[in-house]
């Protein structure tokens, strides 16, 4: 753990094991934080806040610039650790490190763009002034599927705003967090400004974040179920919170689009990170007249995808994160097939060539998917693509909106009016129009409905860590 600028063991020397999901082998053991460790980390952040928040934006910016430079120098090492610990192919890991570094660079600049304002008053003897000030200590919880970029997406704006932080990474991927905090340490970020707690059971850390009065803000990326719990608990303490939760993204192909071009894009985004991305399409809506052309190209590309250890050349499909994830995928596929879906590719756990040691599932394509199937309603978080045929008489946007989730959606069309209509009518926070990568450090990321609240990245990202203070001056 990294507490108050020092690397430490847990209070009782407790540890937990970290495994490689591609091989099932234990990589190492890390500290398993106890109650006193959690309290000490929060205390360190609380004590460091006055001095850190008193620095000028230009001073804080320089720390972020240096961290960005160091991260880019260590890009290959970070990527290899990520592939070993999380499982994604090495090329994808390199892309994530770059994406994560972008947030350090972006918010190094945004630190200097936190503006106040003056407001005219109706009284001649009065002046209004608005200041933006850091909210205080931030508790951050990051997920396993993007174990590096989610750290910088939360901590970069928090530090830029003048906040201090305690971060709890996912128990499946603590090693990526350890390497990132080595970078923060090397960048010279003062003791207590950033603190790292590794913990097998996340509940005590989450409970401390929502109940400890020293923590003023909670930022969480993870499941909707846990996000709802944290939201309820935080509300009891009037604590600021931002949540990036589950998704159930629709991919809509309109009948004026090129089905082959759309299939190419759909494969890339559906099987991103082995389908373990909250923005991965979970329902692919295709006009009945185009299903055959679309699925022919889609299946051909899926069958060409190589599964295996992400360190091996040419691998496109890595392992799932663990046994529970594999069981969920298997259950959804079985349920769909039992209810009449048709299997075009995959549909089984992969065990050949030593893959049985890891949690591999074949990239899978289903057609004939209907609303009574689990996969139509539940987030899959795995390499399964359900194709749903619709007719010209059906409102596909209304079908796409028929979910409690509202994170990402995708639309393929050649019509600008159709694109604009879909963009306005879809109840999702991120819409890709003929675009499978509608994300960037400079763009706001977040969802509607049960996909969360608040935004990360862009100008909005730093606002999540700022309070607005009004001064009324009588002169």
Any long-range contacts for 457-463 (C-beta under 8 Å, 24+ apart)? 457/103, 457/106, 457/153, 459/110, 459/113, 461/107, 461/110, 461/153, 461/157, 462/107, 462/110, 462/111, 462/113, 462/114, 462/157, 462/160, 462/161
Average pLDDT, the chain: 97
Query: Is 163 annotated as catalytic?
Result: no
**What kind and span of H or E run contains 327?**
helix 323-338
445: DSSP letter: B
pTM over 0.75, yes/no? yes
Contact 389, 395 (CB under 8 A): no
Distance, CA of 277 to chain centre: 7
| DSSP label at residue 275 | G
Residue 123 φ then ψ, to 5°: -95, 135
Q: Catalytic residue among 185, 244, 450, 464, which? A: 244
Q: State the catalytic residue, choosing from 176, 278, 297, 464.
A: 278
What local confidence, expressed as pLDDT, does residue 262 receive? Answer: 98
The predicted-structure confidence for 134-179, as pLDDT tens digits, reads as follows 999 999 999 999 999 999 999 999 999 999 999 999 999 999 999 9
pLDDT digits (tens, 9 = 90+) for 386-403: 999 999 989 999 999 999
**For residue range 255-280, what is the model confidence (pLDDT) as tens digits?**
999 999 999 999 999 999 999 999 99
pLDDT category, 353, cuts 50, 70, 90? confident
- Asked if the model's pLDDT at residue 354 lies above 90, the reply is no
Give the separation between CA 72 and CA 60, rounded to whole angstroms.
Answer: 19
Fold of the domain spanning 2-245+451-474: Aldehyde Dehydrogenase; Chain A, domain 1 (3.40.605)
- d(C-alpha 463, C-alpha 156), whole Å: 12
What lies within 8 Å, CB to CB, of 322 at 6+ separation is 21, 172, 359
DSSP secondary structure, 356-409, as one string = GGS--B--EEEES--TTSHHHHS---SSEEEEEEE-TTS-HHHHHH-SSEESEE
The answer to whether 260 touches 293, Cβ cutoff 8 Å, is yes
What lies within 8 Å, CB to CB, of 383 at 6+ separation is 270, 271, 274, 275, 317, 329, 346, 361, 362, 363, 364
* Domain limits, the chain: 2-245+451-474, 249-440
* Helix runs in 55-130, H state only: 57-73, 75-86, 90-110
Smallest CA-to-CA distance from 274 within 325, 326, 318 is with 318
Tell me the per-residue pLDDT of 51-73, one tens digit each, with 9 for 90 and over.
999 999 999 999 999 999 999 99
Q: What is the pLDDT of residue 132?
A: 98
- What Rg do the C-alpha atoms of the chain give, in angstroms? 23
Backbone torsions φ then ψ of 209, nearest 5 degrees: -60, -40
Topology of domain 249-440, CATH: Aldehyde Dehydrogenase; Chain A, domain 2 (3.40.309)
What is the Cα–Cα distance from 433 to 437, expressed in whole angstroms? 10
Place of tokens 């003056």: 118
Q: Count the alpha carbons within 13 Å of 104 in the hemisphere toward its beta carbon.
A: 24
Residues 378 and 363: beta-carbon distance below 8 Å: no
- 378 in catalytic set: no
Place of tokens 């985004």: 269
How far is the C-alpha of 266 from the C-alpha of 403, rounded, in Å?
20
Residue 7 has pLDDT above 90, yes or no: yes
pLDDT tens for each residue of 399-435: 999 999 999 999 999 999 999 999 999 999 999 999 9
């Amino acid at each position: 753990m990294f507490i108050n600028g020092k690397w430490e063991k847990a209070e009782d020397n407790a540890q937990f094991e970290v495994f490689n999901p591609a091989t099932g082998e234990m990589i190492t053991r890390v500290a398993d934080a106890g109650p006193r460790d959690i309290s000490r980390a929060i205390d360190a952040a609380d004590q460091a806040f006055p001095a850190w928040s008193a620095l000028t934006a230009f001073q804080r910016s320089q720390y972020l610039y240096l961290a960005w430079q160091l991260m880019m120098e260590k890009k290959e090492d970070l990527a290899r650790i990520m592939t070993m610990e999380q499982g994604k192919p090495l090329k994808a890991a390199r892309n994530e490190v770059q994406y994560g570094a972008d947030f350090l660079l972006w918010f190094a600049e945004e630190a200097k763009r936190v503006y106040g304002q003056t407001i005219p008053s109706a009284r001649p003897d009065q002046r209004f002034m608005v200041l933006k000030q850091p909210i205080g200590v931030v508790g951050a919880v990051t997920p396993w599927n993007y174990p590096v970029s989610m750290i910088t997406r939360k901590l970069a704006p928090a530090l830029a705003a003048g906040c201090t932080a305690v971060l709890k990474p996912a128990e499946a991927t603590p090693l990526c967090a350890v390497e990132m905090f080595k970078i923060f340490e090397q960048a010279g970020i003062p003791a207590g400004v950033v603190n790292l707690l590794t913990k097998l059971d996340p509940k005590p850390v989450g409970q401390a974040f929502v109940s400890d009065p020293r923590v003023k803000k909670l930022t969480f990326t993870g499941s909707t179920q846990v996000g709802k719990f944290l939201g309820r608990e935080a509300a009891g303490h009037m604590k600021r919170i931002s949540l990036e939760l589950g998704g159930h993204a629709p991919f809509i192909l309109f009948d004026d689009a090129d089905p082959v071009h759309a299939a190419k894009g759909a494969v890339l985004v559906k099987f991103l990170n082995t389908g373990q991305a909250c923005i991965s399409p979970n329902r692919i809506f295709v006009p009945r007249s185009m299903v055959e052309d679309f699925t022919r190209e889609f299946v051909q590309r899926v069958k060409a995808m190589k599964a295996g250890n992400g360190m091996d050349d040419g691998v496109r499909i890595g392992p799932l994160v663990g046994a529970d994830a594999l069981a969920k995928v298997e259950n959804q596929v079985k349920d769909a097939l039992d209810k009449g879906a048709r299997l075009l590719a995959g549909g089984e756990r992969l065990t050949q060539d030593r893959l049985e040691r890891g949690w591999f599932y074949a990239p899978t394509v289903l057609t004939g998917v209907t609303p009574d199937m689990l996969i139509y309603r539940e987030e899959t978080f795995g390499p399964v693509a359900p194709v749903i045929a619709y007719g010209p008489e059906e409102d596909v946007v209304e079908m796409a909106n028929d979910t409690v989730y509202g994170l990402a959606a995708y639309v393929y069309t050649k019509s600008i009016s159709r694109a604009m209509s879909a963009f306005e009518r879809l109840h999702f926070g991120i819409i890709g129009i003929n675009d499978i990568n509608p994300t960037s450090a400079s763009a706001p990321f977040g969802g509607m409905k049960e996909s969360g609240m608040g935004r990360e990245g862009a100008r909005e990202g730093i606002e999540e860590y700022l309070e607005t203070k009004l001064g009324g001056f009588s002169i």
